[in-house]
């Protein structure tokens, strides 16, 4: 499903990732662990194409999604750590925009109900709380039933019900043969997942 | 015409006076909104400071905004009228932003309107407007953090470039109203300058002259819109990269959104020329038909300059200035040498520029 091959990147003078290789198969959840500054978010940003690596490649279903080869990225859903979509759009406008960009149908009412966004999705994103914003971003990430979910600190701002809902969504992602790669410091959340840990330290895979 | 003559004429023509009040209040409302509703200032409310301190500061800010309006009435009718104009305008701005919803709001609104509309001497009008304006500022301040939670839904869908362009336009309309109003005023001023130049030089068909003069005005007018769209584009890089949105789609959406704004400003420019110069119907139609693609092409070029400049953040300002001057020169020289033939040339230049700019665009964060 996902193969990160010998990826390296330098941001400024600092080498943030050094020949990192990670794989995530169909029906698998990978949790990237590591101290602050280990390179977890940078790795996820490279996986999603937000950052281009200096070296190495990222393959999704055997197809490279690095650089200008963007089409394959429509099969992934991403929620960054600081999810800051256009603040003037409403939640439902953001979801409609993502559906149009991915050329996918908008999410069904059942998914909206599960994520509990119906009551606030007519609000502008700039007026939402952090938890509401993350739920809307999660809904947008799930547009088109992506084969790979990429979640950076997904429990930030979520209440306990939200975390339980997320655990359930990730279990369903696995059950339908999808993959997920996420970075988190929330060890209770990790314990609730049936996930394979990958440890990063100073930009290298250490376990 | 002196300020005294102008205000005397307005007193004798209530409809014109009402239109002039609207012409002052409408374009300045977004600026008043920024003064009264800056989210970054909400944190200050937690400080142990009496509320009236905040009201006094916000009232003073609004009075500074109304200063040109106060000067007109002050020079025309005296200090009391000038003070009334400033206080009433500040009160109306605050009440519009607060959105009247209670009986007290309504009473204050009626008092403000009555102080402007009733034939009262300056001191009496001031006495009527002052308490209502103070109340309006306090209400606007109190309601500011809870405003704008909901927005009328806009269909953000369709093909990827169309959906993205719609999202940029929605962001522009909801979040950058001041830039939009500034652009409209500059475009109208360009129209006024064109009409005056046509009249001074006794030019009946102002088409090419309009293009030449509007080139500079529209570049400046669309600059604010282009900067806003480029900001939105930068803010969304993560989303666009992760949804497989290529540079071509991004550039087309940004240039398309700018072109729609530019076409609107082109209409405003042409309308101002037509209103002041009163050309024949045929010339007016031709002017309007030319101004729409002209405004769109100018705006698209300016947008391409802004997006391309964003690739080098530390030198972006220099690139924007140089690129903007370049677009002004191309538009002005093109109109001077080719006349109305410059319109298709500029449209083609905009399309070519789009392709060139998209070619060099990164797919993620620069």
Domain residues of chain A, as ranges?
A: 2-205
From residue B263, how far is each of A62, A71, B257, B326, B342 by CA, in Å? 45, 32, 10, 20, 16
Nearest to A70 among B148, B166, B245 (CB): B245
B119 — contact with chain A (CB < 8 Å)?
no
- Tens-place pLDDT, residues B103-114: 998 999 999 999
CB atoms within 10 A of CB A23: 16
Please state the rounded mean pLDDT for residues A158-166: 90
Give me the residues of A, 100-159, that contact B with CB < 8 A: 100-103, 122-124, 126-127, 150
More confident residue, B117 or B310: B117
pLDDT above 80 (res B298): yes
Does 3.40.50.300 match the CATH number of domain A2-205?
Answer: yes
User: Taking the CB of residue A165, how many other CB atoms lie within 10 A of it?
Assistant: 17
d(CA A128, CA B333): 49
Ranking A101-110, B48-57, B100-109, B142-151 by mean pLDDT, the lowest is B142-151
d(CA A67, CA A69): 6
Q: How far is B342 from chain A (nearest CA, A)?
A: 35
> Which of A8-22, A67-81, B211-225 is predicted with the least confidence, judged by mean pLDDT?
A67-81
Residue A54 contacts by C-beta under 8 Å, 6 or more apart in sequence?
Answer: A8, A9, A10
- DSSP E strands in A80-195: the ranges are 148-152, 179-183
Nearest to A91 by CA among A44, A134, A52: A134
CA distance A52 to chain B (A): 7
Q: For residue B122, how many other CB atoms are within 10 A of its CB?
A: 18
Q: Quick check: B144 pLDDT over 90?
A: no
A25-67, pLDDT tens digit by residue? Answer: 888 999 999 889 888 999 999 998 888 888 998 988 888 888 6
Q: Closest partner residue to B148 among A51, A68, A127, by Cβ?
A: A127
Distance to chain B for A150, nearest Cα, Å = 10
For B27, list phi and psi in degrees, rounded to 5. Answer: -70, -20
Tokens 């339980």, located at residue: A164
- Specify the pLDDT at position B1: 57
For the ranges A184-193, B38-47, B276-285, B355-364, the lowest mean pLDDT is seen at B355-364
DSSP B158: S
The chain-wide mean pLDDT, for chain A, equals 88
Which residues of chain B neighbour A78 with C-beta distances below 8 Å? 238-239, 242
On whether any CB of chain B is under 8 Å from the CB of A40, the answer is no
Name residue, tokens 């006076």: B17
Q: Is the ipTM of this complex over 0.90?
A: no
pLDDT at B204: 62
Higher pLDDT, B357 or B240: B240
> Does the pLDDT of residue B191 top 90, yes or no?
no
Q: Give me the pLDDT at residue B338, please.
A: 84
Closest CA to B20 of B85, B97, B115, B74: B85
B298-335 CB burial, b ≥16 within 10 A, e <16: bbbbbbbbbbbbbeeeeebeebbeebbeebbebbbebb
CB contact under 8 A, A150 and B175: no
Residue A128: exposure state from Cβ atoms within 10 A (0-12, 13-18, ≥19): buried
Rounded distance, CA A99 to CA B159, Å? 10
Mean predicted confidence (pLDDT) in B313-334 = 84
Find out whether B239 and B269 touch, Cβ atoms under 8 Å: no
The phi and psi torsions of B133 (rounded to 5 degrees) equal -70, -40
For every residue of A21-70, DSSP letters joined together read EEEE-TT-EEEEE--TTSSHHHHHHHHTTSS--SEEEEEETTEE-STT--
Question: What is the distance between the alpha carbons of residues B184 and A191, in angstroms, rounded to a whole number?
Answer: 57
Residue A151 is predicted with a pLDDT of: 93
pLDDT bucket at B206, cuts 50 / 70 / 90? low
- Which of B165-169, B197-201, B336-340 bottoms out in mean pLDDT, i.e. has the lowest? B197-201
Give me the pLDDT at residue B196, please: 81
Q: What mean pLDDT, rounded, does chain B reach?
A: 83
How far is B51 from chain A, CA to nearest CA, in Å?
23
Whether A49 and B174 lie within 8 Å, measured CB to CB: no
Q: Chain A: residue nearest B160 by CA? A: A101
User: Are B242 and A52 a contacting pair at CB < 8 A?
Assistant: no
pLDDT for position B148: 56
Separation CA B143–CA A144 (nearest Å)? 39
- What is the Cα Rg of chain B in Å? 23
Burial environment of residue B42 by CB neighbours within 10 A (0 to 12, 13 to 18, 19 or more): exposed
Cβ within 8 Å, pair A127-B149:
yes
> Which of A114-123, B40-49, B249-258 has the lowest average pLDDT?
B40-49
Please tell me the predicted confidence (pLDDT) of residue B258: 92
* Nearest CB to B243; choose among A52, A86, A98: A98
| Nearest-CA distance B140 → chain A (Å) | 17
Nearest to B269 by CA among B208, B192, B182, B173: B192
The number of beta carbons lying within 10 Å of the beta carbon of residue B217 is: 24
Say which residue, B87 or B17, is predicted with more confidence.
Answer: B87
Average pLDDT over residues B43-60: 84
**pLDDT (mean) for A89-106:** 91
> Considering CB atoms only, which of A70, A86, A123 is closest to B232?
A86
Does residue B242 sit at the A interface (CB-CB below 8 Å)? yes
At residue B46, the pLDDT reads 76
Closest Cα in chain A to B147:
A127
Question: What does the pLDDT average to over B124-146?
Answer: 88
Looking at residue A124, what DSSP letter applies?
B
Q: Do A113 and A139 form a contact (C-beta atoms < 8 A)?
A: no
Q: Which of residues 39-58 of B touch A (CB under 8 A)?
A: 39
* pLDDT in the model for residue A71: 74
Distance from CA of A64 to the nearest CA of B (A): 12
Residues 6+ apart with CB under 8 A from A199: A32, A33, A34, A205, A206, A207
Stretch 44-83 of chain A: residues touching chain B, C-beta under 8 Å: 45, 48-52, 65, 67-68, 70-74, 76-78, 80
Contacts of A125 (CB under 8 A, 6+ apart): A85, A86, A87, A88, A89, A90, A91, A94, A133, A136
User: Using CA of residue B287, residue B290, residue B292, residue B294, what is the dihedral sign?
Assistant: negative
Q: At B136, is the pLDDT very low, low, confident or very high (cuts 50, 70, 90)?
A: very high
Output the pLDDT for position B362.
61
Q: Say which residue, B198 or A106, is predicted with more confidence.
A: A106
Measured in residues, chain A has a length of 207
Does residue B366 register a pLDDT over 70?
Answer: no
Q: Token pair of B143, please?
A: 């309601």
Distance from CA of B147 to the nearest CA of A (A): 9
The DSSP H or E segment spanning B285 is helix B281-309
Q: How confident is the model at residue B90 (pLDDT cuts 50, 70, 90)?
A: very high
Could B244 and A99 be called an inter-chain contact, meaning their C-beta atoms sit closer than 8 Å?
A: no
Q: What value does the CA radius of gyration of chain A take, rounded to a whole number of Å?
A: 16
Rounded CA-CA distance A94/A201 in Å is: 35
Over 60: is that where the pLDDT of B363 sits? no
Lowest mean pLDDT of A52-61, B38-47, B347-356, name the range: B38-47
Q: How far apart are CA B174 and CA A82, in angstroms?
A: 22
CA A148 vs CA A10, A47, A78, B108, B130: distances in Å: 25, 10, 9, 57, 62
Which chain A residues contact residue B246 at CB under 8 A?
68, 70
CA distance A140 to A25: 23
Task: Give the SS3 label for residue A131.
Answer: helix
Residue located via tokens 């990160």 = A4
Which residues, other chains included, contact A61 with Cβ-Cβ below 8 Å and sequence gap of 6+? A1, A72, A75, A147
Task: Using a cut of 0.80, tell me whether the model's pTM lies above it.
Answer: no
Asked if the C-beta of B238 comes within 8 angstroms of chain A's C-beta atoms, the answer is yes
SS (H, E, C) B295-326: HHHHHHHHHHHHHHHCCCHHHHHHHHHHHHHH
Asked if B242 and A73 come within 8 Å (Cβ–Cβ), the reply is yes
Q: Which residue does chain A place closest to B155, by CA atoms?
A: A93
pLDDT of A194 reads 82
**pLDDT above 80 (res B167):** yes
pLDDT at A31: 93
Instruction: Give the helix/strand (H/E) hosting B73.
Output: helix B67-77
């Amino acid at each position: 499903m996902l193969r990160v091959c010998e990826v390296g990147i330098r941001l400024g003078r600092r080498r943030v990732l050094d020949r990192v290789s990670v794989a995530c198969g169909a029906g698998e959840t990978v949790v990237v662990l590591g101290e602050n500054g280990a390179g977890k978010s940078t790795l996820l940003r490279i996986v999603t194409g937000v950052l281009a690596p200096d070296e190495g490649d990222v393959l999704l279903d055997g197809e490279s999604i690095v650089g200008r080869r963007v089409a394959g990225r429509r099969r992934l859903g991403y929620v960054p750590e600081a999810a800051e979509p256009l603040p003037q759009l409403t939640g439902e406008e953001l979801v409609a925009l993502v559906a149009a960009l991915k050329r996918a149908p908008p999410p069904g009412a059942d998914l909206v109900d599960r994520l509990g966004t119906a009551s606030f999705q007519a609000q502008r994103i700039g007026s939402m709380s952090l938890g509401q914003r993350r739920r809307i971003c999660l809904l947008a990430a799930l547009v088109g039933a992506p084969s790979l979910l990429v979640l950076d600190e997904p429990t930030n701002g979520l209440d306990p019900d939200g975390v339980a809902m997320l655990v359930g969504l990730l279990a369903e992602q696995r059950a339908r043969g999808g993959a997920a790669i996420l970075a988190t410091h929330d060890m209770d959340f990790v314990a609730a997942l049936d996930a394979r840990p990958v440890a990063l330290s100073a930009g290298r895979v250490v376990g | 015409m002196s300020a005294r003559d102008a205000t005397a004429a307005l007193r004798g023509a209530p409809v014109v006076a009402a239109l002039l009040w609207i012409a002052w209040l409408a374009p300045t409302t977004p600026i008043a909104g920024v003064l009264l509703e800056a989210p970054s200032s909400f944190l200050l409310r937690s400080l142990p400071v009496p509320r009236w301190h905040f009201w006094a500061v916000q009232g003073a800010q609004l009075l500074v905004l109304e200063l040109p309006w106060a000067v007109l009435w002050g020079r025309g009718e005296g200090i009391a009228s000038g003070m009334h104009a400033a206080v009433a305008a500040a009160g109306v701005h605050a009440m519009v932003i607060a959105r009247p919803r209670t009986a007290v709001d309504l009473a204050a609104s009626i008092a403000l309107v009555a102080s402007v509309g009733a034939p009262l001497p300056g001191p009496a009008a001031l006495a009527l407007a002052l308490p209502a304006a103070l109340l309006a500022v306090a209400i606007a301040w109190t309601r500011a953090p809870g405003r704008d939670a909901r927005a009328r839904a806009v269909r953000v869908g369709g093909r990827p470039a169309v959906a993205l362009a719609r999202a940029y336009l929605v962001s522009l309309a909801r979040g950058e109203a001041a830039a939009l109003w500034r652009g409209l005023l500059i475009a109208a001023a360009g129209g006024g300058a064109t009409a005056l130049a046509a009249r001074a030089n006794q030019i009946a068909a102002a088409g090419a002259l309009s293009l030449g003069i509007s080139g500079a005005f529209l570049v400046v007018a669309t600059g604010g819109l282009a900067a806003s769209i480029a900001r939105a584009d930068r803010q969304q890089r993560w989303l666009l990269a992760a949804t497989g949105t290529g540079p071509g789609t991004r550039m087309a959406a940004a240039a398309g959104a700018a072109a729609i704004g530019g076409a609107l400003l082109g209409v405003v420019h042409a309308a101002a020329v037509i209103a002041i110069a009163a050309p024949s119907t045929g010339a007016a139609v031709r002017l309007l038909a030319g101004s729409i693609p002209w405004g769109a092409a100018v705006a698209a070029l300016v947008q391409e300059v802004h997006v391309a400049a964003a690739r080098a953040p530390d030198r972006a300002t220099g690139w924007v200035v140089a690129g903007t001057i370049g677009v002004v020169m191309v538009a002005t020289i093109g109109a001077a040498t080719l006349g109305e033939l410059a319109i298709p040339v500029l449209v083609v230049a905009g399309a070519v520029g789009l392709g060139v700019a998209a070619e060099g665009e990164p797919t993620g964060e620069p």
